[in-house]
Amino acid sequence: MAILPLSAHQSVAIIGAGIAGLACGQVLANSGASVTLFDKARGPGGRLSSKRRPSATLDLGAQAFSVHNADFQRAVDTWLSIGCIASWPTATYQASPNGWQAHNDGQKRYTGAPRMSALTRHLADSLTALPQAALHTGTSITSLKRTQKGWLLVTAGGITHGPYDQVVVSAPPPQAHALLAAWDDDLATACQTRKQRACWAGWAIFDGPLPAIPGVDPDWQMARVAHPTLHIVSRNQTKPGRAAQPESLSLLAQLDWSEAHLEQPASEVARQLLAALKSLFPVSATLPDLIETGAHRWRYAQPAAACEHTYLYSGNGLALCGDNFCDGRVEDAWLSGHRLGKALIGRSV
């Protein structure tokens, strides 16, 4: 589908201020377009979210990300120099109730510093420092309307924003479908065909360190787990800038298990994830006392399959980006938004 390049002074609404929406907004605002982002959550970040509790901060979405693309590497180098990300983890294991093995796939990874959401907070702050950009958080967009002057966005509270020349939707496909179904058959169909996997992300804060495991570095940072319930254990106090917090674990469940237990109460999910954690330690070991535990349900955690697109757009001023229209990682999400932004301003990608 041909696209008319946006010119400076044209206006763009971006629904979703995760890393894809922010990357798209940055390219467009830097080109001089007027950019307004909307996110239904209290802050930007989407699945790069962190939970702040009185004694610890825990990352509940992505724990770390890797880099393969040169454009993304340049962005990562900038974020490293600013200090909103840092290298992590360096001590990783494969764990199961039968034993632990050190695991190093040679891939360098990064995490937000001092929490994952510091990266998207930095992107949002640098974007909204531009006079032509704005971010409305706590604003759920429930429908779009087309007028002769452009697109209008209607919020859950019945407020109308716009008109805009271009609307970019970076929400997960089921949420994007609800907005686009009335206006664009091709984009709506693309949303319907991108099936999503769900994931429970548990967390637990303890009043002391985890028991030692024979042969395992006591400062291990992350473990990939072979267990029917538990998939990843990540120790938040080993992440850059969080050494002062107590033992604080993110416990990501297996996707199959998450989907089979999707409607269970969070407290029950947390209990089962903790039982799985306990099974990774020697029978004689006792876990320290719990300060707090809980679980977050991600209904749309990642796409079920990779996809050949990076972004999608139609000639009527509607476009889609986000990790769900590529491969489901932080890097894919950033590239999707970045490349869509460049396509919209008519530069090669």
Ligand X SMILES: Cc1cc2nc3c(=O)[nH]c(=O)nc-3n(C[C@H](O)[C@H](O)[C@H](O)COP(=O)(O)OP(=O)(O)OC[C@H]3O[C@@H](n4cnc5c(N)ncnc54)[C@H](O)[C@@H]3O)c2cc1C
Q: Which stretch binds ligand X (CB under 6 A): 257-265, 266-274, 284-292, 298-306?
A: 298-306
Among residues 171, 225, 277, 345, the one that binds ligand X under rule CB under 6 A: 171
Among residues 39, 165, 184, 247, the one that binds ligand X under rule CB under 6 A: 39
Q: Which amino acid is at 304?
A: A
Comparison of 152 and 211: residue with beta carbon closer to ligand X: 152
Is residue 349 within 8 Å of residue 71, measured between CB atoms?
A: no
Q: Per rule CB under 6 A, is residue 181 in the interface with ligand X?
A: no
Is residue 170 within 8 Å of residue 321, measured between CB atoms?
A: yes
Q: In Å, what is the CA distance from 318 to each residue of 50, 84, 152, 307, 340?
A: 30, 32, 12, 20, 11
> What torsion, rounded to 10 degrees, do the Cα atoms 138, 140, 146, 148 define?
-10
Among residues 89, 114, 172, 173, the one that binds ligand X under rule CB under 6 A: 172
* Shortest separation between residue 8's beta carbon and ligand X, angstroms: 25
- Give the torsion sign (CA, 21, 41, 32, 113): negative
Among residues 21, 89, 112, 162, the one that binds ligand X under rule CB under 6 A: 21
Put the strands of the sheet holding 141-147 in their side by side order.
141-147, 150-155, 160-164
Is residue 159 within 8 Å of residue 145, measured between CB atoms?
A: no
Cis peptide before 163 (omega within 30 of 0): yes
Is residue 196 within 8 Å of residue 302, measured between CB atoms?
A: yes
Q: CB-based contacts of 342: which residues, under 8 Å, 6+ apart?
A: 27, 348, 349
Q: Which stretch binds ligand X (CB under 6 A): 5-13, 77-85, 165-173, 184-192?
A: 165-173
Q: Per rule CB under 6 A, is residue 340 in the interface with ligand X?
A: no
Provide the 10 A C-beta neighbour count for residue 14.
30
Q: For the chain, give the number of residues.
A: 349
* Shortest separation between residue 71's beta carbon and ligand X, angstroms: 16
Among residues 330, 335, 344, 345, the one that binds ligand X under rule CB under 6 A: 330
# residues contacting ligand X (CB under 6 A)? 37
Is residue 251 within 8 Å of residue 230, measured between CB atoms?
A: yes
- Give the torsion sign (CA, 339, 340, 342, 346): positive
What SS3 string covers 252-310?
EECHHHHHHCCCCCHHHHHHHHHHHHHCCCCCCCCCCCEEEEEEEEEEEEEECCCCCCC
Q: Per rule CB under 6 A, is residue 329 in the interface with ligand X?
A: yes
Comparison of 184 and 323: residue with beta carbon closer to ligand X: 323
Q: Per rule CB under 6 A, is residue 17 in the interface with ligand X?
A: yes
Comparison of 21 and 112: residue with beta carbon closer to ligand X: 21
* Shortest separation between residue 332's beta carbon and ligand X, angstroms: 6
Q: CB-based contacts of 156: which residues, under 8 Å, 6+ apart?
A: 40, 139, 140, 141, 142
Among residues 19, 75, 249, 335, the one that binds ligand X under rule CB under 6 A: 19
* Shortest separation between residue 252's beta carbon and ligand X, angstroms: 5
* Shortest separation between residue 156's beta carbon and ligand X, angstroms: 8
* Shortest separation between residue 233's beta carbon and ligand X, angstroms: 13
Footprint of ligand X on 217-246 (CB under 6 A): none
* Shortest separation between residue 41's beta carbon and ligand X, angstroms: 4
One symbol per residue from 118 to 147: x for binding ligand X (CB under 6 A), - otherwise; what is it? ----------------------xx------
* Shortest separation between residue 56's beta carbon and ligand X, angstroms: 18
Among residues 13, 27, 46, 307, the one that binds ligand X under rule CB under 6 A: 46
Residues of this chain that bind ligand X (CB under 6 A): 15-21, 38-41, 46-48, 61-65, 140-141, 170-172, 175, 199, 201, 252, 298, 301-302, 322-323, 328-330, 333
